[in-house]
Structure 1
């Protein structure tokens, strides 16, 4: 988790999750990079913290540095990662862009309730025969994250997609003045959304209600493309039909269909569809970040006791209270350690321990960001500890002048049996009730 995202989550500030498949598979370099930077900037401008989610060398990242964005944008060997792909991609140490499904999973695990994307996947045209249904839809049915998008990609079967979302129990609401469900590039899909919210505050109240009910299913907020960038529905439909025909003739199937279709439609519309795509993504980022801010205010008001209690989506920060030790392990080379003041050949290594530190370290690596309460001296050992534990929240640790950071030395035989142990751990007595 990126430090800015971690800090925002710990401070219960609004955070907006962003996907990365649009970076790795949706646009060409360097346009994809400038788009990603622009979207993050829009989120920040509207008062939220952006958390672009991606996979780098087998590790899920929630929030990316600019260098990591550049890596994903320019790499030629990235994978498109949905729910089914996560175990393989992580186990193989691969890098990739997370789809709506993959991004929702990561966002939910760290406690981000609002996620902005361009458009979700859905039932492909002809899906009643091919059973080609995006995992985004089933993810919305089982992961409690609100997805803000421009509806469903217009290359899909929008009517069947809405029916499938109903079957999955997903709350779908159109955003703005009309109840018409948007068709990605166009306002007009010919289908009505089952629900309607007029502004960011209403959307936040809807999301808060859904999360509070504990339904364990998502919410889809469908935001129409800005009017000035809307592409004619007829122009888009003609381009879709031509692109579909070409995809069939080339035998393109599965997860390769969507990137091919979007690229082909951009060519057939002389880039108008791409311009609309960029405009709607930026508009979604603006709307989504405003929704996240409104939701954060709503939850903050409840914590102050002004509203009835509902389940809070942000996990509480654990607190770990305990010792931190600098451990020295002296291991003899011979099976028998010679006493009487003799020098025994061996190897000495330094490690960092203490039961409290070990627990806090583990929780930090699992993404829980605990606050660690302990005590160290102002000496070279404490500097080593703080450097080693840079990934942990050590902000509340006592730094005591004239005290020694706790150390422990274990002398063990060549087989690992403890021969003698020496501990200088008086500083642990400074972890008092008053300090806690």
Structure 2
């Protein structure tokens, strides 16, 4: 009996799966989910389009099918064609940044949404894609124990059985508390060919990981065991930035620390500084105090940047934009390099998982026939 051709429109689940992705899933092939927020909100045009196409090409060259996920006119799409990718890249921030909490609103209003880690995981699992590649995940923000500013990425990892391949979390976050929260959520955390959790732009963070994996096959076994045991939680596989970009990573890290300080100055602290700064013009001991207690150049810069403290989901975009300026754009190149490296690793893991599943299926068929 011949198989029905792949659907072109939304499936009964309300998700439009591309023919290429649907055919790969039906045959047990390797598929890698990709987010769209990095295209719309992470890079300028045309660099974002070029990167998206190169990442998809890397996935294909290594034996897997890429499935970029986005919401187009209220319809979730898994797997985009070249025209849809171009539309994403050109539209940029006109596409709403869409986490799990935003999905219903974006779909109901017929809007366009660029999926974050949590939304991409949700749709990947919904259609049966077990592996998702991204740049870095969100986490517990600094002072998160007071603000409760914790990314929904962590909650999603705790309840959605998808393996996320990333370069860890950015050092703008509280990495130690992020790992503690992942443990609370029951998420398996593994570092790829290292014993230390990477910090996105840099190879190390000072935080050890409970699990080290050294090959795509080893990763595949963990993913398969997680699915076979129906644990219901995700897996985070952290891949260090390529060594050739580690040196620039240290420069970027320095810029991140400066940007964090800029974001932390509140209106009250700025007013205090201005008062002391005026006093410093007439009193030498106050002058000494100002320069000991404050980074004067930094605060003057901050006065021109913002008239209020940067808080909530505005922190990450603010800091990444500042880092890009402070590093002369080298942070963007490092970001692209690590995303490509993650795509390479993720594709190899997807192929290894596909091969493992087929071997297990064949073994069961042989045993059944005996």
TM-score bracket relative to the smaller structure: 0.7 to 0.9
Kept in 1: contact 2:248–2:330 (CA 8 A) = no
Instruction: State the match for 2:330 in structure 1.
Output: 272
Instruction: Find the counterpart in structure 2 of residue 104 from structure 1.
Output: 121
**1:161 aligns to 2:178 (yes or no):** yes
| Higher alpha-carbon Rg | 1
**1:194 maps to which of 210, 232, 255:** 210
> Cα deviations across residues 238-260 of structure 1 (Å, max 9, x unaligned)?
31222123334433322222222
SS in 2 for 1:12: coil
TM-score between the two structures when normalised by the length of structure 2: 0.80
Pairs aligned (count):
308
Residue among 84, 91, 95 paired with 2:112: 95
**Superposition pairs for residues 24-43 of structure 1, below 5 Å?**
24-43=40-59
Q: Confirm whether residue 237 of structure 1 aligns to residue 215 of structure 2.
A: no
SS of the residue aligned with 1:68? Answer: helix
* SS of aligned partner of 2:254: helix
Q: How does 1:53-64 map to 2 (within 5 A)?
A: 53-64=69-80
Alignment partner, residue 36 of structure 2 = 20
**Counterpart for residue 263 of structure 1:** 321
Counterparts of 2:246 and 2:365 in 1: how far apart (Å)? 40
Structure 1 unaligned segments of length 5 or more: list them. 310-436
Secondary structure, aligned partner of 2:190: strand
Q: Greater RCO between the two (CA within 8 Å, min separation 6)?
A: 2
> Aligned equivalents of 2:68 and 2:346: distance in 1?
14
Task: Identify the structure with the greater strand proportion.
Answer: 1
Partner of 1:430: none
Q: 1:130 to 1:193 in 2, by over 3 A?
A: same
Mark the runs of 5 or more structure 2 residues left unpaired by the alignment.
1-16, 266-305
Q: Is the CA contact (8 Å cut-off) linking 2:249 and 2:334 kept in structure 1?
A: no
Which residue of 1 is the match for residue 347 of structure 2? Answer: 289
2:359 alignment counterpart? 301
Counterpart Cα distance in 2 of 1:307 and 1:248: 61
CA distance in 2, matches of 1:14, 1:278: 23
Mapped partners of 2:164, 2:330: distance in 1: 25
Q: Secondary structure at the match of 1:93?
A: coil
TM-score with structure 1 length normalisation? 0.69
Bigger Cα displacement from structure 2, 248-257 vs 271-280: 248-257
C-alpha contact (below 8 Å) 1:58/1:94 kept by paired residues: yes
